[in-house]
Amino acid sequence: MRLLRVRAKALAARARGQVPLHFLHVGKTGGSAIKHALRGRRDQGPYRLFLHGHRMGLKNVWPGERVFFCVRDPIARFVSGFFSRQRMGRPKNDIPWNEPEAVAFERFSTPDELAEAIGSSNPSRRAEAEQAMNGIQHVNSHMWEWFGDEALFHARRESLLWIGFQESLSEDFERLRQLLQLPNEASLPSDDLRAHRNPQRLGRGLSEDAEANLRTWYAADYRLLALCEAWRADHRE
C-alpha cells in the first residue's frame, strides 16, 4: 500500500514537471542526518524528494526516476551498529533488545570481542559470535540489501544522482545541496542526537585480527563500496 502511495505522488510530481528523487536510507551510514537536513524541502528545486525509511530498496524505484543514498566503510558501520544497539538506540530512540540481542550483549561487551570471536579456534565461541553477528540489528544487515545484486546496480547506474560517503558527509552534502538547488540554510545537524550517531568518545578500538575477520565477513559490502567509489570517480566535475 505504501508503495502505491509513493507511486501516486511520483506520478503527480512528473505531471508538475518535477523528477521523482528517492533517498534510500541504508542503515548506519549517515542517512538520519541527510533526512533531517532535507525535511521540509521535499518540493523545492527540480526534484520531488522521497525520504524513505529502511525498507525501500533500489528494486522498488521505478525506471526513469532518480536515486541518492549514503554508504560507509563496512567495519566502521559494524562498530556504529554494535554501539547503537548496545544502548538500545538511545537517546533518540528507545528500542529494547530482542532475545538474540540480549544474549549477544551478555556474551560480547565490545565490538572487538565479537569481531575477534568470529575467527576463534574454539568452535563453540565461534558459533556464539556468528549467532551474535546474525542477531544484532544493523550488525546483521549488509548494504547490498538495499541494492539487490551487482547486476541490478549496474543496470540502474544512470538512475543514480548522488552517493554520499559517511566519512566525507559534510563535503558530499554540499555537492548534494547544489544538485538540488537548495539554499545555504539547508545543512546537516551538528549534534549527535539529531544526527542519530554514536558519541565521538566511542572509538573503533579493533585489533588487527578483528578487522581481518570483519573484512571477510563483509567482503560483499566492500565490493559495493568499490562500485560506489568508481561511480563517484566517473561523476566528479
The answer to the question of residue 209 being in a domain is no
Backbone phi, psi, residue 20, to 5°: -65, 130
The 10 Å Cβ neighbour count of residue 166 is 20
Average pLDDT value for residue range 93-119 = 96
The 10 Å Cβ neighbour count of residue 96 is 8
Stated pTM of the model: 0.91
The answer to the question of residue 65 being in a domain is yes
The answer to the question of residue 44 being in a domain is yes
The answer to whether 88 and 97 have CB atoms below 8 angstroms apart is: yes
Of 71, 34, 83, 112, nearest to 198 by C-alpha is 83
Q: Percentage of the chain with pLDDT > 70?
A: 93
Instruction: Please give the tally of structural domains in the chain.
Output: 1
The grid coordinates of residue 62 equal 521505478
What pLDDT is recorded for position 194?
Answer: 47
What pLDDT is recorded for position 231?
Answer: 97
The answer to the question of residue 97 being in a domain is no
Is residue 196 very low, low, confident or very high in pLDDT (cuts 50, 70, 90)?
A: very low
Which domain, by its residues, includes 151? 2-74+142-201+224-234
What pLDDT is recorded for position 131?
Answer: 98
The answer to whether 175 and 182 have CB atoms below 8 angstroms apart is: no
- Give 34-88 pLDDT, tens digit per residue: 999 999 898 877 999 999 999 999 999 999 999 999 999 999 999 999 999 999 9
**What whole-number distance in Å separates Cα of residue 38 and Cα of residue 189?**
11
The answer to the question of residue 50 being in a domain is yes
- Give 169-185 pLDDT, tens digit per residue: 999 999 999 999 999 88
Of 121, 2, 128, 108, nearest to 55 by C-alpha is 2
Buried b (16+ CB within 10 A) or exposed e, 192-215: eeebbbbeeebeeebeeebbebbe
Between 122 and 92, whose confidence is greater? 122
Report helix, strand or coil for 88. Answer: coil
The answer to whether 170 and 18 have CB atoms below 8 angstroms apart is: no
Backbone phi, psi, residue 158, to 5°: -70, -15
What pLDDT is recorded for position 89?
Answer: 86
The answer to the question of residue 48 being in a domain is yes
Given a cut of 90, whether residue 91 has pLDDT beyond it is no
Of 155, 163, 167, nearest to 24 by C-alpha is 163
The 10 Å Cβ neighbour count of residue 189 is 15
